[in-house]
Amino acid sequence: MQFCMAERLTAYRDSEDMLPLAPGAPVALRAPRALMAALLLACAISAQAQAAGPASAAPLLEASASGPAPGASAQPGAALPRPRVWVSVPRLRSRLQARDLGLVINTADPYSVAVGKHYVRARGLRPQQVLRVRLPVAPVLSPEEFETLRQAIEKHFGPQTQALALAWAAPYAVACNSITGALALGFDAGLCSNGCAASRPSGYFNSATTRPLTAPGWRPSMLLAARNVEQAVALIDRGVASDGSLFMVDREPVSALMLITDDRARAVRMALYPPTALPPALGVELRVEPTATLRSARRVLTVTTGSEKLELQPPPDWVPGALADHLTSFGGDLQGLHGQATALDWISSGATASHGAVSEPCNHPQKFPHPQVLLLHYLQGATAIEAYWKSVAWPQQSLFIGEPLAAPFSPPLSPSSRPSPPASAAPAPAAPVSAAPAAEKAP
């Protein structure tokens, strides 16, 4: 792991308890337990990666030599990615905060207005951080409708705004692209004729940056999506409650579940599961176990699996800030028009963020969250939007939903950096995008 080095973490630069993070460095008795855990995570995984030998230098994600099979139906003999090894992730020095976020509200959608209002209050956003537009309340935008939205966003938000929260559950696609993918990488019409093709690579994948508008040069986004306003409010409140909640390690452990599935088409990420447990002092139990484990697991932090359907009754024992997703063809089709479980099923059950594809991606592992990258960025204090976006190499069809700023492993914010209550101001007029057409079927 690249962040096991003799350099101080930004979060601790003002602390007298700071230690050099070098392999084999002595541990002073004055070091806080949370820092001890960070040291263990950095150095233990670094040692495991070195022990893995030349294979650890292989690409993080690799498509099968015979070509990927559709996520809904793959040939039984389809090759899996490389055998499990620890991957290298960069050392993170900070994270996105509320002041870095822009919020977009659709004034044509009562859900969006109510959810946006609650999010402004919950995260202390200022009036200039909010853009109000009028969008079709439909699953899919046309490329022309999307371009008008994109231009409104670019005109309203300045360089301070590094990421976006979209306060709606629909629209979630632009033709065959996800709306989050298109806002970041631009609309790619070519995927509409061949969704199984390789898509545009993300310069944000597994990166250390906390200023994505500077590098790679675009803003990641996430939908505040739920099945109704009540669930969306609960989602936002879970995200806020998660902040710093797992930073100290003197607590009951949480579970990171990497589930085993016999659905071969959707099992390609199993070869990317970590090969060994995490250091016990981290308070995170890494469990590679059968799917049924989800029903009995306590204090669930993350779930990675591959399946067409989900068994979420009774709901898992989620902790605030939990991340969960399943590899299938249409997990990002939030209306469930293809008969598969969607990312909304995870949110409805109590997860705080999720991921799904809006159009047939085939089972390229590059188009889905890398289990290790997702977990290891999150454990370093990254927000949900950063951890999820940095874990997907080809995110053009990827829909990211949830509370973007959830950060359970981040140190609590100092009083000077906490968001201030928004100043009272009259709502800005909505930027017209287009008249709302009748709802259309997702691709």
Percentage of residues in the chain having pLDDT higher than 70 = 74
The stretch 13-22 carries a mean pLDDT of 24
Q: Is the model's pLDDT at 415 over the cut of 90?
A: no
pLDDT at 251: 87
Mean pLDDT (the chain) is 81
Total Cβ atoms within 10 A of residue 392? 26
Q: What's the whole-number mean pLDDT along residues 243-247?
A: 94
- Conformation bin of residue 322: beta by default, left when phi > 0, alpha when psi is -120 to 50: beta
Q: What is the DSSP string of 249-296?
A: SSS--EEEEEEE-S-GGG-GGGGGS-SSPPPGGG-EEEEEEETTHHHH
State residue 401 phi and psi, 5-degree precision: -130, 155
Q: Is residue 381 classed as helix, strand or coil in its secondary structure? A: coil
The confidence score (pLDDT) of residue 413 equals 62
Which tokens hold the place of 124? 């202390």
- What mean pLDDT comes out for the span 296-311? 95
Q: What is the rounded CA–CA span in Å between residue 177 and residue 179? A: 6
CB 20 within 8 A of CB 104: no
- Structure token pair of residue 323: 């991340």
pLDDT range class, residue 326, cuts 50, 70, 90? very high
Half-sphere exposure of 208 (CA within 13 A, CB side): 11
Per-residue pLDDT at 441 exceeds 70:
no
C-alpha angle 117-123-128 in degrees, rounded to nearest 5: 70
Residue 222: strand pairing partners: 165
Range picked from 7-21, 239-253, 416-430 for highest mean pLDDT: 239-253
Beta bridge partners of 354: 401
For residues 210 and 58, the model is more confident at 210
In this predicted structure, the answer to whether residue 353 has a pLDDT above a threshold of 60 is yes
Cis peptide before 171 (omega within 30 of 0): yes
pLDDT confidence of residue 285: 96
Query: Which residue type does 31 have?
Result: A
For residue 39, pLDDT beyond 50: no
Measured CA to CA, the distance from residue 332 to residue 104 in angstroms comes to 20
For residues 252 and 261, what is the distance between their CA atoms, to the nearest angstrom? 28
Contact 163, 209 (CB under 8 A): no
Evaluate the CA torsion angle 72, 184, 198, 187 in order and state its sign.
positive
Q: Which residue carries 């040692």 as its tokens? A: 47
Residues 18-38 have pLDDT tens digits of 222 122 323 222 334 444 444
- Beta sheet of 177-178, edge-to-edge order: 140-141, 173-174, 177-178
User: Is the pLDDT score of 431 beyond 70?
Assistant: no
Instruction: Work out whether strand 177-178 and strand 173-174 pair parallel, antiparallel, or are unpaired.
Output: antiparallel
Instruction: HSE, CB side, 13 Å, CA atoms: give it for residue 330.
Output: 17
Q: Worst-scoring range by mean pLDDT, 7-11, 72-76, 265-269, 331-335?
A: 7-11
pLDDT at residue 358 in the model: 98
Strands of 191-270 (E only): list them.
221-223, 254-260
For residue 41, the model assigns a pLDDT of 52
CA distance 26 to 49: 21
pLDDT of residue 288: 94
Least confident window among 5-14, 98-107, 173-182, 331-340? 5-14
